Amino acid sequence: MQSLYSNGFEKIYDAMYQTFIDYDDEFDFYSNIIKKHHKKNVLEIGCGTGNLAKHFINSNLEYVGLDLSEDMINLSKLKNPSGMFIHGDITTYALKKPLEATIITGRTSSYLLRNKTIHSALKSIHNNLTTDGLLCFDFIDASRFIKSIKEGKKVYHEACFENNCYFRESYMKNNDLDNFMFNWDAIYYQKTNSDPIKLTEDKSVVRAFTKNEWELFLYLNDFTLLEFIDRKSYAFDTYVVVAKKN
């Protein structure tokens, strides 16, 4: 899905994701966890186009959004002029001051394909959290999801903005890739009165995880796992991890 995050496609992403992610519900879910652990500020890694940011900025929690895509960051800033957004990579970022909580939502963890990358990401997160800092993120549950795409799975989404309508046909399939990675092929079209116009094709590899893998990754990088929350989401079987920096 990486090509959807830049070159103008971030606007289609923005319209499309709002049709299947309920960001009010996302905000309630993550802000409740943050408040339950008495944290007063939060970094969102992979903040995308700032849909969750909007809610945090209007709350009494201090918020910083970070994303690898400059186009996503620019759109986040445009939509949330009073927000704080920075361009950065989950594996290398360095904040000016550590924050009390970090969240990673919308299955952004699926882009951490290699174990080495996951260790680098957890190191950066650890370095940028205060003592006892909270880490909360979701992941695609390999134990259920990989079975569900054994024969291939098609997903269709559409969205309209600026007087045009678009749709995306996704095809996910199980294969022999390492580490429960799978192929996610998507084709984007613009609707017209006659045949749709094909805009782009995106072939991505993304990763699903087992709970045991995350238990071990967290342990090796000095986090204590507090809980796994089973959370229904639009196309994927998803768990949310809640962990604490040691």
Ligand X SMILES: C[S@@+](CC[C@H](N)C(=O)[O-])C[C@H]1O[C@@H](n2cnc3c(N)ncnc32)[C@H](O)[C@@H]1O
| Contacts of 221 by beta carbon, 8 Å cutoff, 6+ apart | 119, 122, 123, 126
Q: Which is nearer to ligand X, 117 or 196 (CB)?
A: 117
For residue 139, state whether it binds ligand X (rule: CB under 6 A).
Answer: no
Question: Residue holding tokens 């989950």?
Answer: 90
For residue 182, state whether it binds ligand X (rule: CB under 6 A).
Answer: no
The answer to whether the beta carbons of residues 47 and 109 sit under 8 Å apart is: no
For residue 17, state whether it binds ligand X (rule: CB under 6 A).
Answer: yes
Options 89, 169, 202, 215; binder of ligand X; rule CB under 6 A: 89
Query: Cβ of residue 192: shortest distance to ligand X, in angstroms?
Result: 27
Query: Cβ of residue 110: shortest distance to ligand X, in angstroms?
Result: 7
Q: Which is nearer to ligand X, 74 or 132 (CB)?
A: 74
The answer to whether the beta carbons of residues 160 and 17 sit under 8 Å apart is: no
Query: Cβ of residue 166: shortest distance to ligand X, in angstroms?
Result: 17
Alpha carbon 144 to its chain's center = 19
Alpha carbon 9 to its chain's center = 17
Query: Cβ of residue 58: shortest distance to ligand X, in angstroms?
Result: 17
Query: CA-to-CA distance for 154 and 149, rounded, in angstroms?
Result: 9
**Given its phi and psi angles, is residue 11 left (phi above 0), alpha (psi -120 to 50 degrees) or beta?**
alpha
Options 16, 53, 90, 186; binder of ligand X; rule CB under 6 A: 90
Interface region with ligand X, contact rule CB under 6 A, candidates 106-114, 152-160, 169-177, 206-214: 106-114
Query: Cβ of residue 193: shortest distance to ligand X, in angstroms?
Result: 31
For residue 69, state whether it binds ligand X (rule: CB under 6 A).
Answer: yes
- CA end-to-end span of the chain: 34
Could you give the count of Cα atoms lying within 13 Å of 215 in the half-sphere of its Cβ? Answer: 5
Options 30, 42, 48, 63; binder of ligand X; rule CB under 6 A: 48
Binding residues for ligand X, rule: CB under 6 A, are 5, 17, 21, 45-48, 51, 67-69, 72, 89-90, 105-108, 111
